Amino acid sequence: MKSPDFDYFRASSLQEALTCLQAHGANAQLLAGGQSLLAMMNLRMASPQILIDISRIPGLSQIERQGSVMRIGALVTHRQLLDSAEVATCVPLLAQAVPYVAHLAIRNAGTLGGSLALADPAAEYPSVALALQATMIATSLRGERRIAAADYFQGLYQTALAEDEILTAVEFPIATPGQRFSFQELARRRGDYAMVGVACAITMSDDRVSDARITFLAMGDGPVLASHAMKALVGTSLDAAAIQASQQALSHDLAPAGDLQATPETKCHLARVLMGRALAPLRSAA
Ligand SMILES: Cc1cc2nc3c(=O)[nH]c(=O)nc-3n(C[C@H](O)[C@H](O)[C@H](O)COP(=O)(O)OP(=O)(O)OC[C@H]3O[C@@H](n4cnc5c(N)ncnc54)[C@H](O)[C@@H]3O)c2cc1C
């Protein structure tokens, strides 16, 4: 199927894009990598009157270390993330998640900002952003706004971005020496959207867990913070008994709806198994 007719505007600067966005409001959609939006338009799930192409705006494709954070521009592609040695070193959880995002052709065009703006509940980056307590930078003609990941994801395909705002960058805290990370996902085929996925960021001091952040994808309307499972790990040595207690605590954190791939019970079972697989190697990780 072909998309409905639309007007097209290629912005050559952020200011131009913001001005156009403000003028057209809800009738406009931003076009970044187009890997989700164009398919949605062809399926008539989206029918913007005008597409504002932001893909060539300069200054939004950088990966920069700034003090204790990595600031990653919204137009950075999945491929750029995969190829970045700095991301691998400084934001290992993000680096571990990228290979699970779609396929090569899609990774060449799709962007970090596009994924976080779409907020698909089965996408990898939202759960990574929530686990790492990343900060979204939203820009409008009114100025720049910083939004904590915990406040940013607001439900099924819903974010805190206002109609006139563009997500311009994301700041991820740089990993500290005591931190250990694991990202695991189950999908029917490599590159498909996840049936279940988990992102873990564990902080150890003196061989004890001093902080644990665990989030799930494809288990709710957005990324799900597993606070009971996290609490069960704090103060432990991340031994088998602690991991088991954490897996049991998941019953208080997860209440997924069933989908075409699995029943709620199957998804919860897979989530428990996957979290166990993710946590077990972290005990001995350097
Ligand atoms: C076959 C297939 C498999 C896929 N598998 C996965 C997968 O396993 N995991 C996964 O995470 N994704 C997957 N994707 C989606 C892919 O990752 C997309 O690249 C991503 O979701 C959207 O990024 P984009 O740059 O293409 O955004 P676009 O498609 O251009 O835009 C998506 C939406 O975000 C808005 N938007 C884009 N950029 C911004 C911005 N900077 N500020 C505000 N709003 C913005 C657009 O207006 C639009 O509403 C898959 C896609 C396909 C086609």
Please tell me the chain's helix, strand, coil percentages from 3-state DSSP, rounded to the nearest 5.
35, 25, 35
Tell me how many domains the chain contains. 3
Does residue 286 carry a pLDDT above 60?
no
Task: Find the domain containing 265 and state its range.
Answer: 179-282
CATH number of the domain within which 208 lies = 3.30.390.50
CA 45–ligand 1 middle distance (angstroms): 14
The domain boundary, picked from 173, 191, 226, lies at 173
- Listed in sequence order, the residues at least 6 apart from 23 whose beta carbon sits closer than 8 Å to its beta carbon are none
Instruction: For residue range 207-265, list pLDDT tens digits in order.
Output: 999 999 999 999 999 999 999 999 999 999 999 999 999 999 999 999 999 988 899 99
**Is the full-model pTM beyond 0.85?**
yes
Atom of ligand 1 minimally distant from the CA of 75: 41
My answer on whether 144 and 188 are in the same domain is no
CA 248–ligand 1 middle distance (angstroms): 34
Give the three-class secondary structure for 100. Answer: helix
**CB-based contact 71:135 (threshold 8 Å):** no
Q: Is 118 in the pocket of ligand 1 (CB under 6 A)?
A: yes
My answer on whether 242 and 256 are in the same domain is yes
The domain boundary, picked from 53, 73, 88, lies at 53
Q: How confident is the model at residue 19 (pLDDT cuts 50, 70, 90)?
A: very high
Quick check: is 258 in a domain? yes
Residue nearest to atom 9 of ligand 1 (CA): 101
**CB-based contact 53:138 (threshold 8 Å):** no
Q: Is 110 in the pocket of ligand 1 (CB under 6 A)?
A: yes
Atom of ligand 1 minimally distant from the CA of 38: 29
Report the alpha-carbon distance of residue 205 to residue 189 in Å, rounded: 38
The domain boundary, picked from 117, 140, 173, lies at 173
Q: Which of 181-195, 197-211, 237-251 has the lowest mean pLDDT?
A: 181-195
What is residue 261's predicted lDDT score, i.e. its pLDDT?
Answer: 86
Does residue 285 carry a pLDDT above 80?
no
Q: What's the average model confidence in pLDDT over 66-70?
A: 97
Quick check: is 34 in a domain? yes
Report the alpha-carbon distance of residue 275 to residue 148 in Å, rounded: 25
My answer on whether 205 and 145 are in the same domain is no
Query: What is the CA angle 166-33-25, rounded to 5?
Result: 35
Q: Is 32 in the pocket of ligand 1 (CB under 6 A)?
A: yes
Report the alpha-carbon distance of residue 29 to residue 67 in Å, rounded: 33
